[in-house]
Structure 1
Amino acid sequence: MPRAAPACDDRGMPATTPAPATGASYLKPPDPADPPARKLYRSSEGRMIGGVARGLAGHLGLPVSWVRVVFVVLATFNGLGILLYALFWFFVPLGVGGVSEAKEPRDAKSWLAGRRPDKGQILALIALFIGLGVLVSNLNLGAANAAIWPLLVIGLGVALVWRQADNARRSRWVEMSQGKRFWPIARGAAGVLLVGAGVTGFLVVRSSGSHLGGILQAALAVLVGVALIAGPYLVRLTQDLSAERLMRIRAQERAEVAAHVHDSVLHTLTLIQRNAEDPREVARLARAQERELRAWLYRPEGTGKEDEPTNFADAVRKAAAEVEDAHGVPVEVVCVGDCPLDDNLVAQMAAAREAMVNAAKYGGDEAVQVYAEVEERKVFVSVRDRGPGFDLDQVPDDRMGVRQSIIGRMQRNGGEARLRSAPGGGTEVELEMERVAS
C-alpha cells in the first residue's frame, strides 16, 4: 500500500497553495488596524520662522540642525534654499511637532510657550526678507529693482499678519489672557501698517511727483480696504476680551467671598461645635460672627482690617462689640443720627464704654441696652442694664470706676453724667455732651 503524501514539506511550510490574487483583492479597503500613512506638517513648536525645518526633521527622523544647514547651503545656489523654504511654508499645513494638531494636542507647557511673544521668530522673518532683497538685487533686473524693496515690505507685512493667524488659529484668540494680548494685536497692527507703507512706496516709485495726490488717495483706499477686512475680526476680538475680563472679575469676587467664608465663618462654626454645651458662649460667637459678617458685606472697601471709626455712630457700635466679645453679654445698640468725632465726643465715648463694661460685669446675664442720639446742639448716650442695681453713696471712695472714669471724665470735658440706680431696679447711665460748632 503506498505511503500517503506528507501534509507539509521539510521546511514546515503548508502544503496548500494560496489562491492567486485577483483584481478584486486589490480593491478591498485597507485594514483599520494598519497604521495611517505619515503626512508632512510644519511644526508650531520651537520654530524659527515657519516651522518648515522642524517639521521636515520630525518627518524624516533627522536632527533639526541638519535640515536647517541644508536650507542655508541650498540658499547659496542662486537662492534655491529660500525658494524651497517658501514653497514648503506655503503648501505644507501647520501641525504640532511635525504631526497633525488634531491627532496630538499640545500640552499646557507648549500651549503657554506658543502664547509668548516670539521675538526670535520675528527677527528671523525680517532676516529672511532682507536675504530675499539682497538676492533679487543681484539679479540685475534693471528698472524693476526699484520696486523690489516696496514689494518686500508688502510681503513682510502680509507674512506678519499670516503668522499671527497661524500662531493663534482663530479658535484660541479669545483664550488669550490679559497680560499676553498686547503682542498679537501689535503684530497684526504692524502687518497692516507695513502693507499700507509698502503699497504707498510702490506707487511712489512707479509714479512721478506730480501725481502725489492720486498716490495718497490710492494709499488711503488700501488702508480703508484693510480696515474693512480686519474690522469685523477686531470688533469680535474686543467683545470677546471684554467678556473674558468680566468673567475674570466675577471669578475673583467669588474667590474673595470663599476666602472670607473659610477664614471667618467656618472658623466660628468650628468654635460653636466645640462649645455646644455652653449656650451663652454659642450665642456670643454667633452674635460676633453676625456683626463681623454684616460689617464686611456693607463696608465700601469690602475686605481688610477695619480702620478706627471717624464718626460717632460707628464708635458706639465698635465699643459695644468689644464689650460684648470681652464679657459675653449681649449689647443692643440703637443709634439715631450721626456726626464726626471730636475730642469731646471721644471722651464721651470712653465714658460710655466704661458704663457698658460695668453693666456687663454687674448687670447679670440680661442684655445691655445702649441708646445714642445726635441732635443739633448736643449728643446723648444712655447705657442701661437690668441688674441688681446699687446705691452710689454706698460705693467706697477708693472705687474710682464710676466717679472718675464716667462722671469725672464727662465733667472735665464740659459734659454731664447722670446715674440712676436703685437696689433691684437696674442701672441707667446718661451722658450728655454739647456739640462743637463746625
Structure 2
Amino acid sequence: MCIEGSSCHYRGVSSGVPVPASPAPSSETPRLVRRDGGRVIAGVAGGVADHLGVDAFRVRVVFMVLAALAGAGVLAYGLLWFFCPPGHDTAPPAPGERRQAYGLAIVGLVAMSVVGFAASGTPAAYLVPFVFVIVGASLVWREFDTSRVSPRTPVLTWTRLIGGALLVIGGLVVIVLAGNQNFGGLSTTLLAVVATLIGVVLLTIPLWMRMWRALNEERAARIRNAEREEIASHLHDSVLQTLALIQKQAGQPEEVARLARSQERELRGWLFGDPAQRAGSLSASLQGVGAEVEDDYRIEVDVITVGDLRPDDEPAAERRRWAALVGATREALINAAKHSGERKVDVYGEVTEDGVEVFVRDRGVGFELDLVDDDRQGIARSIRARMQRAGGDAVVDSTPGRGTNVRLTMPRGELARGERDVESVAPGEHSRTGEGHR
C-alpha cells in the first residue's frame, strides 16, 4: 500500500491515493508436486492437473484408460507417486470429487483385469489377487505418505494399515498357491520366499521414503543453521564491532567515515566476492593496496578493475612483473595521499590481451615535474625505475591546480632483453627514497 500524498506505481499507473497492492499474476508453470491436503489417493492426478493447468477429472480419466492397457496407468501412477514430492496445500477435496475419483479407480482396475484376461488369457486366479495387492499397497502407502504426523494415530488409520497389509498378504498367498498348481516345476518354498520379499518391499516402501525425506530435511536444516551461525558470527566480529567504534568516535567525522568505508569494503567483499577465486589475483592485490593506503592515510581510495589475472599461475618472472606493478601503484597512492591535498584518489586497472594498465588519479593541487628537486626521488625511483626494471613504463601527468594522473603500463610476454631482476618489496613497505616526497 502506498502512503497518501506519495507517488504510487501500480501496473503503470501513478497516483497519490492509497491503492491496495496485490501481487501480479505469475505466468510461470507451477512445479510438479503431489497434492497433500487436497488428495484423494496419493495426490498424483491432482498434482499433474495443477502442473498442466487442466481439470483433475481429465487426468484421472487418462490414468484409468492407461490402466486398462496392460496396467500402464497403474505403473505411471506409482512412479509419479514415488518420484514427485508432496506439496503444501491444505484444502481437502470435495465429497463429490472423492467419490468420482474412487469410482474411476475401481473402473480402471476392473478394466485392467478384463482386458488382461481377454487379451492374454491370464486366469482370474492371478488377476483378481493382483488387484487386491495393488489396492492393499495403495492403502498402506497412503497412510504413511503424509508430511503431517499426528501425535495420536486414529483407529481409522490402523484399520486401513491392517486391512491393506491383509490384502497384500492374502493376494500374494493366492498367487503363490495358483503358481504352485500351474508351475509344478518350481518349489513351493521358492515361490513363498519370493512372495514374502515382494510383500515386505510393498509394505515398507513408504517407510523408507519417509526416512529418506527426513534425512534430506535434517541435512538441509543443518546447512541452514550453519549458514545462519556463520552470518551471525561475521556480523558480530565485524559490523557490531565497527558500530561500537563509531559510537565511541562520533565526534571525529573523518574517523567515522574511514570506519564506515572500511566496513563497507569488507561487507562487499564478503557478500559478493569469492575468496577462493579472488585470492592471489591482480585485482585483489590492487584492492588490498587501496585499502591499506586508505587506512594508513585516512583518505578514500576508489579502486575499479576490468578483467583479472592470477600471478600465482604464471612463471616467477611474470609474478615479479605484476609485483612491481602493484608496488608502483602503492607508491603513486602514497604520493597522492601525502601531497595532493585531496581526500579521494581514484584507481582504475584494466587487464587486456597485451598487458595491464593502471591509472592513479587525484584532483588535488598538482605540481610541475620540471620543478621537482633532484633530491626528491619518489617518482623517479619508486615508480618509474621500478616499472622500467620490470619491462613496463610509468607516465606522470600533473598540472598545478588540476591534479595528477599516473599511468602505469606493464606488457605481457617475455621480459625485455637486458632488463634486470625486480627488487623484492614487501607488501607493507615501500622504497625509502620515495617515502618522504615526490
TM-score, normalised via structure 1 length: 0.48
Look at both structures and tell me which one has the larger radius of gyration over its CA atoms.
1
